[in-house]
Structure 1
Amino acid sequence: MLETTLATPDIQLPPTQAQLPFDDGIPMESARHKAQMDLLINGLIPWLEQREDGYVGGNMFVYYSLAQVRNKDFKGPDFFAVLGVPKGERRSWVVWEEEKAPDVVIELLSDSTAAVDKNEKKLIYQNQMRVPEYFWYDPFNPDNFAGFAIQQSEYQPIAANTQNQLVSKSLGLALQLWQGNYQGIDATWLRWANLRGEVLPTPEEKQNQRAEQERQRAEQERQRAEQERQRADQAESQLLQTARNLLKTGMTVEQVTKLTGLSASAIEK
Protein backbone atom coordinates (compact mmCIF):
# COMPACT_ATOMS: atom_id res chain seq x y z
CA MET A 1 0.00 0.00 0.00
CA LEU A 2 1.41 3.33 -1.08
CA GLU A 3 1.58 6.13 1.44
CA THR A 4 0.46 9.52 0.20
CA THR A 5 1.70 12.77 1.69
CA LEU A 6 -0.47 15.84 1.40
CA ALA A 7 1.45 18.93 0.38
CA THR A 8 1.43 21.70 2.89
CA PRO A 9 -0.27 24.72 1.31
CA ASP A 10 2.03 27.69 0.93
CA ILE A 11 0.04 30.19 2.96
CA GLN A 12 1.84 33.32 4.02
CA LEU A 13 0.34 34.75 7.16
CA PRO A 14 0.30 38.53 7.63
CA PRO A 15 3.00 39.88 9.92
CA THR A 16 2.27 40.48 13.58
CA GLN A 17 3.10 43.53 15.66
CA ALA A 18 6.19 41.70 16.95
CA GLN A 19 7.48 41.46 13.37
CA LEU A 20 6.62 44.98 12.19
CA PRO A 21 8.63 48.19 12.71
CA PHE A 22 7.16 50.33 15.45
CA ASP A 23 9.41 53.41 15.65
CA ASP A 24 10.76 55.60 12.88
CA GLY A 25 13.13 57.38 15.24
CA ILE A 26 11.84 60.77 14.12
CA PRO A 27 11.06 63.10 17.06
CA MET A 28 7.92 65.21 17.09
CA GLU A 29 8.05 68.70 15.60
CA SER A 30 8.56 70.53 18.90
CA ALA A 31 8.50 70.16 22.67
CA ARG A 32 5.01 71.65 22.64
CA HIS A 33 3.81 69.04 20.15
CA LYS A 34 5.22 66.29 22.38
CA ALA A 35 3.64 67.82 25.49
CA GLN A 36 0.30 68.18 23.68
CA MET A 37 0.36 64.51 22.72
CA ASP A 38 1.21 63.53 26.30
CA LEU A 39 -1.64 65.68 27.64
CA LEU A 40 -4.20 64.05 25.35
CA ILE A 41 -2.98 60.56 26.28
CA ASN A 42 -2.58 61.21 30.01
CA GLY A 43 -5.97 62.92 30.19
CA LEU A 44 -7.64 59.67 29.09
CA ILE A 45 -5.66 57.31 31.33
CA PRO A 46 -7.72 57.80 34.56
CA TRP A 47 -10.91 57.67 32.49
CA LEU A 48 -9.87 54.39 30.88
CA GLU A 49 -8.91 52.97 34.27
CA GLN A 50 -12.62 53.02 35.13
CA ARG A 51 -13.37 50.82 32.13
CA GLU A 52 -12.61 47.15 31.50
CA ASP A 53 -11.57 47.79 27.91
CA GLY A 54 -9.81 50.35 25.76
CA TYR A 55 -6.45 51.54 24.53
CA VAL A 56 -4.89 54.94 23.93
CA GLY A 57 -1.64 55.60 22.08
CA GLY A 58 0.28 58.21 20.18
CA ASN A 59 3.11 58.68 17.70
CA MET A 60 3.16 54.95 17.01
CA PHE A 61 2.57 53.04 13.81
CA VAL A 62 -0.94 51.95 12.87
CA TYR A 63 -1.02 49.16 10.28
CA TYR A 64 -4.23 48.85 8.30
CA SER A 65 -3.23 46.96 5.11
CA LEU A 66 -0.52 44.70 3.70
CA ALA A 67 -0.07 47.17 0.84
CA GLN A 68 0.89 49.76 3.45
CA VAL A 69 3.49 47.32 4.81
CA ARG A 70 4.91 46.64 1.34
CA ASN A 71 5.12 50.37 0.61
CA LYS A 72 6.72 50.96 4.02
CA ASP A 73 4.16 53.69 4.70
CA PHE A 74 4.49 53.34 8.47
CA LYS A 75 3.86 56.81 9.87
CA GLY A 76 1.04 56.73 12.42
CA PRO A 77 -1.26 59.28 14.03
CA ASP A 78 -0.12 61.59 16.82
CA PHE A 79 -2.99 60.34 19.01
CA PHE A 80 -5.57 57.59 18.75
CA ALA A 81 -8.05 55.87 21.06
CA VAL A 82 -9.87 52.57 20.70
CA LEU A 83 -12.70 51.15 22.80
CA GLY A 84 -13.99 47.58 22.86
CA VAL A 85 -10.51 46.03 22.84
CA PRO A 86 -8.52 44.34 25.62
CA LYS A 87 -6.22 46.51 27.68
CA GLY A 88 -2.50 45.95 27.48
CA GLU A 89 0.73 47.17 25.94
CA ARG A 90 1.19 47.32 22.16
CA ARG A 91 4.33 47.93 20.13
CA SER A 92 2.15 49.17 17.28
CA TRP A 93 -1.52 48.96 16.33
CA VAL A 94 -2.17 46.21 13.79
CA VAL A 95 -5.75 46.34 12.54
CA TRP A 96 -5.84 42.73 11.26
CA GLU A 97 -4.68 41.48 14.67
CA GLU A 98 -6.96 43.70 16.75
CA GLU A 99 -9.85 43.32 14.27
CA LYS A 100 -10.60 46.99 14.76
CA ALA A 101 -9.32 50.37 13.60
CA PRO A 102 -9.06 53.31 16.02
CA ASP A 103 -12.32 55.01 17.01
CA VAL A 104 -10.72 58.45 17.26
CA VAL A 105 -7.60 59.92 15.65
CA ILE A 106 -6.04 63.33 16.33
CA GLU A 107 -3.24 64.86 14.29
CA LEU A 108 -1.18 67.76 15.66
CA LEU A 109 -0.52 70.17 12.83
CA SER A 110 2.73 71.91 11.99
CA ASP A 111 3.95 73.90 9.00
CA SER A 112 5.57 70.77 7.58
CA THR A 113 2.65 68.36 8.15
CA ALA A 114 -0.55 70.43 7.88
CA ALA A 115 -1.10 69.86 4.15
CA VAL A 116 -0.69 66.07 4.48
CA ASP A 117 -2.78 65.87 7.68
CA LYS A 118 -5.65 67.84 6.11
CA ASN A 119 -5.70 65.99 2.81
CA GLU A 120 -3.80 62.72 2.30
CA LYS A 121 -4.11 61.42 5.86
CA LYS A 122 -7.72 62.57 6.15
CA LEU A 123 -8.59 60.47 3.10
CA ILE A 124 -6.71 57.46 4.48
CA TYR A 125 -8.59 57.68 7.77
CA GLN A 126 -11.88 58.14 5.90
CA ASN A 127 -11.59 55.65 3.06
CA GLN A 128 -9.10 52.98 4.10
CA MET A 129 -9.10 52.85 7.89
CA ARG A 130 -12.72 54.02 8.31
CA VAL A 131 -11.91 55.88 11.53
CA PRO A 132 -15.28 57.16 12.85
CA GLU A 133 -13.90 60.51 14.08
CA TYR A 134 -10.90 62.56 13.03
CA PHE A 135 -9.64 65.80 14.63
CA TRP A 136 -6.70 68.10 13.99
CA TYR A 137 -5.16 70.84 16.11
CA ASP A 138 -2.22 73.21 15.78
CA PRO A 139 -0.58 73.69 19.21
CA PHE A 140 0.83 77.03 18.03
CA ASN A 141 -2.43 78.25 16.45
CA PRO A 142 -5.50 77.41 18.59
CA ASP A 143 -7.84 78.68 15.84
CA ASN A 144 -6.71 75.79 13.64
CA PHE A 145 -8.90 73.20 15.37
CA ALA A 146 -11.46 71.03 13.58
CA GLY A 147 -13.22 67.70 13.86
CA PHE A 148 -14.98 65.36 11.45
CA ALA A 149 -17.29 62.36 11.78
CA ILE A 150 -18.10 59.80 9.10
CA GLN A 151 -21.61 60.16 7.74
CA GLN A 152 -22.65 58.24 4.63
CA SER A 153 -19.04 57.14 4.03
CA GLU A 154 -17.58 60.66 4.12
CA TYR A 155 -16.25 62.94 6.83
CA GLN A 156 -18.61 65.75 7.75
CA PRO A 157 -17.52 68.67 10.02
CA ILE A 158 -18.43 68.41 13.71
CA ALA A 159 -20.10 71.61 14.90
CA ALA A 160 -19.15 73.05 18.28
CA ASN A 161 -21.77 72.68 21.03
CA THR A 162 -22.95 75.39 23.45
CA GLN A 163 -19.85 74.74 25.60
CA ASN A 164 -17.69 75.45 22.53
CA GLN A 165 -16.59 71.81 22.51
CA LEU A 166 -16.23 69.32 19.69
CA VAL A 167 -17.96 66.18 20.92
CA SER A 168 -16.67 62.67 20.25
CA LYS A 169 -19.72 60.43 20.15
CA SER A 170 -17.42 57.40 20.01
CA LEU A 171 -16.03 58.15 23.48
CA GLY A 172 -18.91 60.16 24.93
CA LEU A 173 -16.41 62.90 25.69
CA ALA A 174 -15.47 66.25 24.20
CA LEU A 175 -12.38 68.12 23.10
CA GLN A 176 -12.00 71.71 24.23
CA LEU A 177 -9.34 74.39 24.54
CA TRP A 178 -7.73 75.05 27.92
CA GLN A 179 -5.36 77.84 28.85
CA GLY A 180 -2.73 76.82 31.39
CA ASN A 181 0.69 75.43 32.17
CA TYR A 182 1.61 71.87 31.27
CA GLN A 183 5.12 70.46 31.51
CA GLY A 184 6.41 73.98 32.15
CA ILE A 185 4.82 75.46 29.01
CA ASP A 186 2.16 78.18 29.20
CA ALA A 187 -0.09 77.73 26.17
CA THR A 188 -3.58 77.00 24.91
CA TRP A 189 -3.92 73.22 25.04
CA LEU A 190 -6.38 70.76 23.55
CA ARG A 191 -7.89 68.66 26.32
CA TRP A 192 -10.45 65.95 26.88
CA ALA A 193 -13.43 67.02 28.96
CA ASN A 194 -16.87 65.83 29.97
CA LEU A 195 -19.94 67.42 28.41
CA ARG A 196 -20.27 69.78 31.39
CA GLY A 197 -17.01 71.43 30.37
CA GLU A 198 -14.86 69.88 33.14
CA VAL A 199 -11.46 68.79 31.82
CA LEU A 200 -10.38 65.23 32.57
CA PRO A 201 -7.42 65.39 34.96
CA THR A 202 -4.15 63.66 34.21
CA PRO A 203 -2.79 61.17 36.79
CA GLU A 204 -0.44 63.90 38.05
CA GLU A 205 -3.31 66.37 38.39
CA LYS A 206 -5.42 63.76 40.21
CA GLN A 207 -2.52 63.17 42.61
CA ASN A 208 -2.17 66.92 43.17
CA GLN A 209 -5.93 67.18 43.74
CA ARG A 210 -5.80 64.41 46.35
CA ALA A 211 -2.83 66.10 48.05
CA GLU A 212 -4.69 69.42 48.09
CA GLN A 213 -7.80 67.74 49.52
CA GLU A 214 -5.69 66.11 52.23
CA ARG A 215 -4.08 69.49 53.01
CA GLN A 216 -7.50 71.13 53.25
CA ARG A 217 -8.80 68.34 55.51
CA ALA A 218 -5.75 68.68 57.76
CA GLU A 219 -6.26 72.46 57.92
CA GLN A 220 -9.93 71.99 58.79
CA GLU A 221 -8.98 69.56 61.56
CA ARG A 222 -6.43 72.06 62.87
CA GLN A 223 -9.01 74.83 62.87
CA ARG A 224 -11.56 72.61 64.64
CA ALA A 225 -8.98 71.67 67.29
CA GLU A 226 -8.08 75.34 67.76
CA GLN A 227 -11.76 76.27 68.12
CA GLU A 228 -12.24 73.50 70.69
CA ARG A 229 -9.18 74.72 72.61
CA GLN A 230 -10.48 78.30 72.58
CA ARG A 231 -13.92 77.15 73.76
CA ALA A 232 -12.31 75.12 76.56
CA ASP A 233 -10.15 78.10 77.61
CA GLN A 234 -13.18 80.37 77.58
CA ALA A 235 -15.24 77.91 79.64
CA GLU A 236 -12.40 77.56 82.19
CA SER A 237 -12.02 81.33 82.38
CA GLN A 238 -15.74 81.76 83.02
CA LEU A 239 -15.65 79.06 85.68
CA LEU A 240 -12.69 80.71 87.42
CA GLN A 241 -14.53 84.04 87.39
CA THR A 242 -17.52 82.31 88.97
CA ALA A 243 -15.22 80.86 91.62
CA ARG A 244 -13.78 84.31 92.39
CA ASN A 245 -17.25 85.75 92.71
CA LEU A 246 -18.26 82.97 95.10
CA LEU A 247 -15.16 83.56 97.23
CA LYS A 248 -16.13 87.22 97.48
CA THR A 249 -19.44 86.19 99.01
CA GLY A 250 -17.56 84.61 101.91
CA MET A 251 -17.60 81.01 100.78
CA THR A 252 -14.61 78.89 101.67
CA VAL A 253 -12.34 77.34 99.07
CA GLU A 254 -13.68 73.91 99.95
CA GLN A 255 -17.26 75.04 99.32
CA VAL A 256 -16.35 76.62 95.98
CA THR A 257 -14.52 73.48 94.81
CA LYS A 258 -17.63 71.43 95.48
CA LEU A 259 -19.84 73.87 93.53
CA THR A 260 -17.56 74.45 90.55
CA GLY A 261 -15.63 71.21 90.30
CA LEU A 262 -12.38 73.18 90.20
CA SER A 263 -9.38 72.04 92.16
CA ALA A 264 -8.33 74.00 95.26
CA SER A 265 -4.99 74.85 93.64
CA ALA A 266 -6.74 76.32 90.60
CA ILE A 267 -9.00 78.44 92.78
CA GLU A 268 -6.16 79.65 94.96
CA LYS A 269 -4.22 80.75 91.88
Structure 2
Amino acid sequence: MSVELTANTSPETATQTDWEPPMPPTDLIFDDGEPLESNRHRIAMNVLIRSLQQAWSDRHDFYTGGNMFIYYSSEQARNRDFRGPDFFAVLDVDGTKERQGWVVWQEGGRYPDVIVELMSPSTARVDKGKKKDLYQQIFRTPDYFVFDPFEANAFQGWHLHSSGGYQLLEPNDRGWLWCDTLGFWLGTWSGTIDREEAIWLRFYDTEGNLVLLPEEAAQQRAEAAEQRAERLAQRLRSLGLDPEEL
Protein backbone atom coordinates (compact mmCIF):
# COMPACT_ATOMS: atom_id res chain seq x y z
CA MET A 1 0.00 0.00 0.00
CA SER A 2 1.46 3.44 -1.00
CA VAL A 3 0.99 6.62 1.03
CA GLU A 4 1.07 10.07 -0.57
CA LEU A 5 3.05 12.56 1.51
CA THR A 6 1.56 15.99 2.11
CA ALA A 7 2.82 19.05 3.88
CA ASN A 8 1.33 17.75 7.13
CA THR A 9 2.51 14.15 6.69
CA SER A 10 5.94 13.10 7.87
CA PRO A 11 7.75 9.97 6.67
CA GLU A 12 7.44 8.63 10.22
CA THR A 13 3.64 9.05 10.14
CA ALA A 14 3.42 7.40 6.77
CA THR A 15 5.39 4.42 8.03
CA GLN A 16 3.12 4.06 11.05
CA THR A 17 -0.10 4.17 9.01
CA ASP A 18 1.36 1.72 6.51
CA TRP A 19 2.20 -0.90 9.18
CA GLU A 20 0.12 -4.05 9.49
CA PRO A 21 0.60 -6.82 12.06
CA PRO A 22 2.34 -9.89 10.66
CA MET A 23 0.14 -12.83 9.78
CA PRO A 24 0.62 -15.99 11.84
CA PRO A 25 2.58 -18.75 10.10
CA THR A 26 0.70 -21.20 7.91
CA ASP A 27 3.46 -23.70 7.13
CA LEU A 28 2.88 -25.70 10.30
CA ILE A 29 3.99 -29.29 10.74
CA PHE A 30 2.03 -31.73 12.87
CA ASP A 31 4.25 -34.80 12.98
CA ASP A 32 7.92 -35.01 13.84
CA GLY A 33 8.06 -38.75 13.27
CA GLU A 34 9.07 -39.48 16.85
CA PRO A 35 7.01 -42.16 18.67
CA LEU A 36 5.93 -42.07 22.30
CA GLU A 37 8.34 -43.34 24.94
CA SER A 38 6.88 -46.86 24.95
CA ASN A 39 3.84 -48.91 24.04
CA ARG A 40 2.63 -48.47 27.61
CA HIS A 41 2.80 -44.70 27.22
CA ARG A 42 0.69 -45.00 24.05
CA ILE A 43 -1.93 -47.13 25.79
CA ALA A 44 -1.96 -44.83 28.83
CA MET A 45 -2.60 -41.82 26.58
CA ASN A 46 -5.44 -43.56 24.74
CA VAL A 47 -7.02 -44.73 28.00
CA LEU A 48 -7.45 -41.12 29.12
CA ILE A 49 -8.69 -39.90 25.73
CA ARG A 50 -11.12 -42.75 25.07
CA SER A 51 -12.56 -42.91 28.59
CA LEU A 52 -13.29 -39.17 28.62
CA GLN A 53 -14.95 -39.49 25.21
CA GLN A 54 -17.01 -42.40 26.56
CA ALA A 55 -18.02 -40.49 29.70
CA TRP A 56 -19.19 -37.54 27.61
CA SER A 57 -20.40 -39.47 24.57
CA ASP A 58 -23.53 -37.30 24.38
CA ARG A 59 -21.55 -34.06 24.34
CA HIS A 60 -19.93 -32.20 21.43
CA ASP A 61 -18.68 -29.16 23.35
CA PHE A 62 -15.19 -30.40 24.18
CA TYR A 63 -12.06 -31.64 22.47
CA THR A 64 -9.55 -34.13 23.80
CA GLY A 65 -6.37 -35.33 22.18
CA GLY A 66 -2.83 -36.39 22.87
CA ASN A 67 0.71 -36.32 21.48
CA MET A 68 -0.42 -33.49 19.18
CA PHE A 69 1.48 -30.30 18.55
CA ILE A 70 0.15 -27.19 20.23
CA TYR A 71 1.05 -23.94 18.48
CA TYR A 72 0.68 -20.83 20.60
CA SER A 73 3.03 -18.20 19.12
CA SER A 74 4.68 -17.32 15.81
CA GLU A 75 8.15 -17.55 17.34
CA GLN A 76 7.49 -20.99 18.80
CA ALA A 77 6.04 -22.17 15.50
CA ARG A 78 9.07 -20.94 13.54
CA ASN A 79 11.49 -22.62 15.93
CA ARG A 80 9.54 -25.91 16.03
CA ASP A 81 10.49 -26.02 19.69
CA PHE A 82 7.46 -27.58 21.34
CA ARG A 83 5.95 -31.02 21.28
CA GLY A 84 2.35 -31.38 22.40
CA PRO A 85 1.16 -32.81 25.72
CA ASP A 86 0.49 -36.52 26.05
CA PHE A 87 -3.14 -35.77 26.97
CA PHE A 88 -5.12 -32.55 26.94
CA ALA A 89 -8.74 -31.45 27.01
CA VAL A 90 -10.35 -28.16 26.02
CA LEU A 91 -13.89 -27.32 27.08
CA ASP A 92 -16.53 -25.17 25.37
CA VAL A 93 -15.23 -25.72 21.84
CA ASP A 94 -16.57 -27.54 18.79
CA GLY A 95 -15.54 -31.13 19.41
CA THR A 96 -16.63 -32.29 15.96
CA LYS A 97 -14.08 -30.13 14.14
CA GLU A 98 -11.26 -32.11 12.53
CA ARG A 99 -7.83 -31.06 13.76
CA GLN A 100 -4.27 -32.14 13.00
CA GLY A 101 -3.04 -30.24 16.01
CA TRP A 102 -4.14 -27.46 18.33
CA VAL A 103 -3.42 -24.02 16.87
CA VAL A 104 -4.32 -21.42 19.48
CA TRP A 105 -4.87 -18.52 17.06
CA GLN A 106 -7.28 -20.68 15.04
CA GLU A 107 -9.22 -21.63 18.17
CA GLY A 108 -10.21 -18.20 19.39
CA GLY A 109 -7.19 -17.99 21.66
CA ARG A 110 -8.17 -21.09 23.62
CA TYR A 111 -5.52 -23.10 25.44
CA PRO A 112 -5.92 -26.56 27.03
CA ASP A 113 -7.96 -26.61 30.23
CA VAL A 114 -6.42 -29.88 31.44
CA ILE A 115 -3.05 -31.42 30.62
CA VAL A 116 -1.51 -34.75 31.63
CA GLU A 117 2.10 -35.55 30.85
CA LEU A 118 3.13 -39.22 30.95
CA MET A 119 6.64 -39.09 32.33
CA SER A 120 9.70 -41.26 31.96
CA PRO A 121 13.06 -40.93 33.73
CA SER A 122 14.35 -38.94 30.77
CA THR A 123 11.44 -36.45 30.71
CA ALA A 124 10.48 -36.08 34.39
CA ARG A 125 12.67 -33.05 35.01
CA VAL A 126 11.27 -31.18 31.99
CA ASP A 127 7.68 -32.24 32.70
CA LYS A 128 7.87 -30.93 36.28
CA GLY A 129 10.02 -27.94 35.39
CA LYS A 130 10.06 -26.23 32.00
CA LYS A 131 6.71 -27.59 30.83
CA LYS A 132 5.02 -26.91 34.15
CA ASP A 133 6.23 -23.30 33.97
CA LEU A 134 4.92 -22.99 30.41
CA TYR A 135 1.49 -24.36 31.31
CA GLN A 136 1.31 -22.08 34.33
CA GLN A 137 2.64 -18.84 32.90
CA ILE A 138 1.68 -18.93 29.19
CA PHE A 139 -1.11 -21.48 28.78
CA ARG A 140 -2.73 -20.69 32.15
CA THR A 141 -4.01 -24.28 32.13
CA PRO A 142 -6.18 -24.74 35.26
CA ASP A 143 -5.27 -28.40 35.94
CA TYR A 144 -1.94 -30.09 35.27
CA PHE A 145 -0.94 -33.67 36.15
CA VAL A 146 2.14 -35.84 35.68
CA PHE A 147 2.24 -39.64 35.87
CA ASP A 148 4.86 -42.27 35.13
CA PRO A 149 3.22 -45.43 33.68
CA PHE A 150 6.16 -47.49 34.95
CA GLU A 151 6.28 -45.91 38.41
CA ALA A 152 2.79 -45.55 39.86
CA ASN A 153 4.02 -43.53 42.84
CA ALA A 154 5.25 -40.82 40.48
CA PHE A 155 1.87 -39.08 40.31
CA GLN A 156 1.35 -35.40 41.06
CA GLY A 157 -1.08 -32.67 40.12
CA TRP A 158 -1.48 -28.92 40.40
CA HIS A 159 -4.43 -26.53 40.20
CA LEU A 160 -4.02 -22.94 39.07
CA HIS A 161 -4.72 -20.84 42.15
CA SER A 162 -6.42 -17.46 42.09
CA SER A 163 -3.08 -15.93 43.07
CA GLY A 164 -1.81 -16.89 39.62
CA GLY A 165 0.42 -19.84 40.42
CA TYR A 166 0.06 -23.60 40.56
CA GLN A 167 -0.86 -25.11 43.91
CA LEU A 168 0.05 -28.74 44.57
CA LEU A 169 -3.04 -30.92 44.91
CA GLU A 170 -3.49 -33.06 48.02
CA PRO A 171 -4.57 -36.67 47.37
CA ASN A 172 -7.63 -38.17 49.03
CA ASP A 173 -7.46 -41.32 51.16
CA ARG A 174 -7.27 -43.43 47.99
CA GLY A 175 -4.38 -41.44 46.57
CA TRP A 176 -6.59 -39.81 43.92
CA LEU A 177 -6.31 -36.19 42.79
CA TRP A 178 -9.34 -34.06 42.00
CA CYS A 179 -9.57 -32.51 38.53
CA ASP A 180 -11.88 -29.59 39.13
CA THR A 181 -12.14 -28.63 35.46
CA LEU A 182 -13.47 -32.03 34.35
CA GLY A 183 -15.32 -32.91 37.54
CA PHE A 184 -13.51 -36.25 37.82
CA TRP A 185 -10.91 -37.79 40.08
CA LEU A 186 -7.66 -39.02 38.58
CA GLY A 187 -6.30 -42.14 40.23
CA THR A 188 -4.55 -45.41 39.57
CA TRP A 189 -6.18 -48.67 38.51
CA SER A 190 -4.53 -52.06 38.18
CA GLY A 191 -5.57 -54.32 35.32
CA THR A 192 -4.99 -55.44 31.75
CA ILE A 193 -5.65 -53.11 28.83
CA ASP A 194 -4.73 -53.97 25.25
CA ARG A 195 -3.05 -57.17 26.52
CA GLU A 196 -0.70 -55.24 28.82
CA GLU A 197 -1.04 -55.61 32.58
CA ALA A 198 0.00 -52.51 34.49
CA ILE A 199 -1.10 -49.77 36.83
CA TRP A 200 -2.94 -47.21 34.73
CA LEU A 201 -4.04 -43.64 35.34
CA ARG A 202 -7.85 -43.56 35.12
CA PHE A 203 -10.76 -41.22 35.70
CA TYR A 204 -13.26 -41.80 38.53
CA ASP A 205 -16.60 -40.04 38.97
CA THR A 206 -17.73 -38.20 42.10
CA GLU A 207 -19.24 -41.43 43.47
CA GLY A 208 -15.91 -43.21 43.13
CA ASN A 209 -16.93 -45.28 40.11
CA LEU A 210 -14.38 -46.02 37.42
CA VAL A 211 -14.99 -44.10 34.19
CA LEU A 212 -15.16 -46.91 31.67
CA LEU A 213 -13.56 -47.34 28.29
CA PRO A 214 -15.99 -47.94 25.39
CA GLU A 215 -15.28 -51.69 25.35
CA GLU A 216 -15.71 -51.89 29.13
CA ALA A 217 -19.03 -50.06 28.90
CA ALA A 218 -20.18 -52.44 26.13
CA GLN A 219 -19.22 -55.45 28.24
CA GLN A 220 -21.05 -54.01 31.24
CA ARG A 221 -24.20 -53.55 29.16
CA ALA A 222 -23.93 -57.12 27.82
CA GLU A 223 -23.53 -58.53 31.32
CA ALA A 224 -26.50 -56.50 32.57
CA ALA A 225 -28.64 -57.82 29.69
CA GLU A 226 -27.55 -61.36 30.46
CA GLN A 227 -28.46 -60.93 34.12
CA ARG A 228 -31.90 -59.56 33.21
CA ALA A 229 -32.48 -62.52 30.90
CA GLU A 230 -31.49 -64.96 33.65
CA ARG A 231 -33.82 -63.30 36.17
CA LEU A 232 -36.66 -63.53 33.67
CA ALA A 233 -35.90 -67.19 33.05
CA GLN A 234 -35.94 -67.91 36.77
CA ARG A 235 -39.28 -66.12 37.10
CA LEU A 236 -40.77 -68.21 34.30
CA ARG A 237 -39.51 -71.41 35.89
CA SER A 238 -41.14 -70.42 39.19
CA LEU A 239 -44.44 -70.21 37.27
CA GLY A 240 -43.94 -73.70 35.88
CA LEU A 241 -42.90 -72.53 32.43
CA ASP A 242 -39.83 -73.56 30.47
CA PRO A 243 -38.22 -70.41 29.06
CA GLU A 244 -36.57 -72.43 26.27
CA GLU A 245 -39.99 -73.49 24.96
CA LEU A 246 -41.38 -69.96 24.79
Normalising by structure 1, report the TM-score.
Answer: 0.78
Which residue number corresponds to residue 109 of structure 1? 119
Q: Secondary structure at the match of 2:239?
A: helix
**1:229 has 2:240 as partner:** yes
Match of 1:94 in 2: 103
Whole-Å Cα distance in 1 between the matches of residues 21 and 55 of structure 2? 42
1:219-244 deviation digits (Å, cap 9, x = unpaired): 2222222222269xxxxxxxxxxxxx
Is contact 2:89–2:113 with CA below 8 Å preserved after alignment? yes
1:43–1:202: 8 Å Cα contact kept in structure 2? yes
1:29 aligns with 2:37: yes
Provide the identity percentage.
45
Q: Deviations over 1:16-56 (max 9, x none)?
A: 5xx42111111111111111111111110122223341011
- Is the 2:89–2:114 contact (alpha carbons within 8 Å) kept by the matching residues of 1? yes
Of 222-231 and 202-211, deviating more is 222-231
Q: What is the aligned counterpart of 1:201 among 197, 212, 231? A: 212
Farther off after superposition, 213-222 or 64-73: 213-222
Is residue 2:141 matched to residue 1:131?
yes
- Deviation string, structure 1 residues 55-80 (Cα, Å, up to 9, x no partner): 11001011111111011113110000
CA distance in 2 between partners of 1:84 and 1:200 (Å): 21
Bigger-Rg structure (1/2):
1
Q: Distance in 1 between matches of 2:172 and 2:52?
A: 21
Indicate if the aligned counterparts of 1:163 and 1:197 stay in contact, CA closer than 8 A. no
Superposed displacement of residue 8, structure 1: 9.0
The counterpart of 2:59, out of the listed 51, 70, 87, is 51
Paired with 1:22 and 1:228, the residues of 2 have a C-alpha distance of 65
Please give the residue correspondences for 1:180-259 in structure 2 after superposition, counting only pairs within 5 Å.
180-229=191-240
Q: For structure 1, which runs of at least 5 residues remain unmatched after alignment?
A: 232-269
How many positions carry a matched residue from both structures? 224
**1: CA distance, partners of 2:216 / 2:101:** 28
For 1:173 and 1:164, the matched residues in 2 are separated by: 14
Residues in 1 aligned to 2:18 and 2:221: alpha-carbon distance in whole angstroms: 61
> What RMSD in Å do the two structures reach over aligned CA positions?
2.0
TM-score, normalised via structure 2 length: 0.85
Q: CA deviation at 1:201?
A: 0.7
Look up the equivalent residue of 1:203 and give its one-letter code. P
1:143 aligns with 2:130: no
Q: CA deviation at 1:211?
A: 1.0
Q: Is the 2:85–2:115 Cα contact (8 Å) retained in structure 1?
A: yes
* Cα displacement string for residues 170-195 of structure 1 (whole angstroms, at most 9, x for unaligned residues): 11111011111111111111101112
Residue 160 of structure 1 aligns with which residue? Answer: 171
1:131 partner amino acid: T
1:69 is matched with which residue? 77
Report SS of the residue matched to 2:56.
helix
| In structure 1, distance between residues paired with 2:217 and 2:232 | 22
Partners of 1:197 and 1:189 lie apart in 2 by: 16
When residues 8 and 207 of structure 1 are mapped into structure 2, their CA distance, relative to the original with a 3 A threshold, is farther
Q: Distance in 1 between matches of 2:52 and 2:196?
A: 20
Paired residues for 1:74-89 under 5 Å:
74-88=82-96, 89=98
Deviation of 1:163 after TM superposition, in Å, equals 4.3
Tell me how far 1:9 sits from its aligned partner. Answer: 6.9
Secondary structure of residue in 2 paired with 1:50: coil
Output the CA distance in 2 between the equivalents of 1:194 and 1:163: 13
| Structure-2 separation of matches of 1:51 and 1:41 | 14
Residues 25, 77 of structure 2: 8 Å contact kept: no
